Each structure stands twice: as C-alpha cells, then as structure tokens.
Amino acid sequence: MIPVGEALETSGGAQLIADGLSQIAASTSLGMMLAILMAATMLLSNVVNNAAAAILVAPIAIDLAGAIGVSTDPFLMAVAVAASSAFLTPIGHQSCTLVMRPGGYRFGDYWRMGLPLSVLVILTAVPLILRVWPPTPL
C-alpha cells in the first residue's frame, strides 16, 4: 500500500480530495472536520489493514491542513487514532478475526458493538486532539 499512497500523493489525487474536503471545512468547525476525517479513516480501516489506511489517508490529511492553513499535527493524530479503531468488521484487525469463532460472534455483532464504540472514540478523541495538538495557523 505504500506505493498506492505515494501514487495518490504524486498524482494529485490527495490534493483533489483535500480540496473537496476544504470546501466542506469552510462551512464547518475544525472539530467537525477532524470528526469527518476520522470517520472516513475508520471506515477505510475496517476494509484494509490499519497501516494501509493510515498510509492512504495521511497525504490527504496533510493537504487538507495546508488548504485550511493550519498545522498538520491534529490532522495526522486524528488519522493515527482512527486507523487504529477498526471495530466494525472482523476483518479490520486480526484480533477481531481471532475471537470471532471462539466467541461465537457473527459479522453483524461487530456492527452492533463497534458502531457505538467508534462514535465514542470520535467524541473523545476530537476534543483531546484539539487540546493536546492545537491547530496553529501557518
């Protein structure tokens, strides 16, 4: 996935996505923008490996921070936390796959428990990220 992430950056795809997100950012708060970025990263992390999700979304987060005109720290921390929060599917993380059969879980069980947990992670992480890594203007 590293070459895919690099291709996304060099082809201008990351900038294109970041420009679209920066138009949304113009009408929302920075906290809401971080929440949107985290939700998108979490969804991607449930389909591909968490490291691959971080590699794909990090260039978008960097370009988005540049388009908004703030430091990249809160955006990259949001990507890191969200990429590590794959609770919606058993294929998002190997530990979820390992406990599926012994625990008697079905695929839908991950959505029932993972969705509230994902929302809780976003609601907790966004204010903490903004407090610890405040977005300083460039």
Confidence at residue 120, expressed as pLDDT on a 0 to 100 scale: 97
| 63, 38, 122, 74 alpha-carbon torsion, rounded to 10° | -20
Residue ranges of the domains in the chain? Answer: 2-132
The whole-number pLDDT of residue 127 equals 98
Mean pLDDT, contiguous 10-residue spans, the chain (138 residues):
72 79 83 94 90 89 90 96 92 85 91 94 98 92
Residues 6+ apart with CB under 8 A from 88: 42, 43, 46, 110, 111, 114, 115, 118
**pLDDT score for 74:** 97
For residue 1, the model assigns a pLDDT of 62
Rounded to the nearest 5 percent, the helix, strand and coil shares of the chain are: 75, 0, 25
DSSP conformational letter for 47: T
37 and 53 in contact (C-beta within 8 Å)? no
Q: What is the pLDDT of residue 93?
A: 80
Rounded Cα–Cα distance for residues 69 and 113 (Å): 37
Is 87 within 8 Å of 113 (Cβ atoms)? yes
Confidence (pLDDT) at 92: 81
